[in-house]
């Protein structure tokens, strides 16, 4: 932590956003950092990052650095270099595509194997069931809840980058848990 002018402390949290291609990782990051959404799909190459600063309380400013990791198979192991020093992660799937939910397990073990906090403990992870604005047969909540219990995922949210649903809430959850783990 850096103590700035007037005793303000400024923290930097690196947060990963992972999951299969096309689930909406870039859309979530863009919604959260720029307040925008586009229905055009341009796949992410390698990784990207964007920052949003939040005035957490009267003496704490938090800079959230969101790392938007390419979901495509072909970037596989290469993208793991971006995991270093991350303190939390959002694991995203597309509620309208069951295959992306099946992949969550793979992304999770990938994260658990690659990144831990400096003291060796697990980083907080939140599961995001994105595109909840799409009204189509989707994955039942009970199945998601069961998965979270079995895999020690603290919380999950139905999100929509398009309709701006629960994105702020999910990031807030992560920040609270990063602060707890400090």
Give the residues lining the site for ligand GTP (CB under 6 A): 21-27, 38-39, 41, 43-44, 70-72, 130-131, 133-134, 160-162
> Residue 132: CB partners within 8 Å, gap ≥ 6?
95, 138, 158, 159, 160, 165
Considering beta carbons, is residue 10 or 133 the nearer one to ligand GTP? 133
Structure tokens at 166: 């629960």
- The item of Mg ion, ligand GTP, none sharing an interface with residue 161, based on CB under 5 to 8 Å by kind, is ligand GTP
Residue that is written with structure tokens 């969550």 in the block? 104
User: Partners of 69 in the beta sheet?
Assistant: 47
Write down the least CB distance from residue 4 to ligand GTP, Å: 34
- The item of ligand GTP, Mg ion, none sharing an interface with residue 129, based on CB under 5 to 8 Å by kind, is none
Q: What span, in angstroms and rounded, lies between the C-alpha atoms of 26 and 19? A: 11
Write down the least CB distance from residue 158 to ligand GTP, Å: 10
Write down the least CB distance from residue 76 to ligand GTP, Å: 12
Exposed/middle/buried for 39, CB within 10 Å: 0-12, 13-18, 19+? exposed
Write down the least CB distance from residue 18 to Mg ion, Å: 11
For Mg ion, the binding residues (CB under 5 A) are: 25-26, 44
């Amino acid at each position: 932590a850096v103590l700035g002018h007037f005793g303000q402390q400024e923290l930097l949290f690196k947060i990963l956003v992972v999951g299969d291609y096309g689930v909406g990782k870039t859309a979530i990051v863009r919604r959260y950092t720029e307040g925008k959404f586009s229905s055009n799909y341009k796949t992410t190459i390698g990784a990207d990052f964007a920052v949003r600063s939040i005035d957490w309380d009267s003496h704490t400013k938090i800079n959230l650095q969101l790392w938007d990791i390419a979901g495509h198979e072909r970037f596989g192991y290469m993208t793991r270099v971006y995991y270093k020093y991350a303190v939390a992660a959002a694991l995203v799937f597309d509620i309208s595509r069951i295959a992306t939910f099946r992949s969550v397990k793979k992304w999770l073990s990938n994260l658990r194997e690659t990144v831990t906090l400096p003291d060796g403990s697990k980083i907080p992870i939140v599961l995001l069931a994105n595109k909840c604005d799409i009204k189509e047969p989707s994955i039942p909540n009970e199945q998601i809840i069961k998965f979270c219990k079995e895999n020690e995922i603290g919380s999950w949210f139905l999100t929509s980058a398009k309709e701006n649903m629960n994105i702020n809430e999910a990031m807030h959850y992560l920040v609270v848990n990063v602060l707890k783990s400090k």
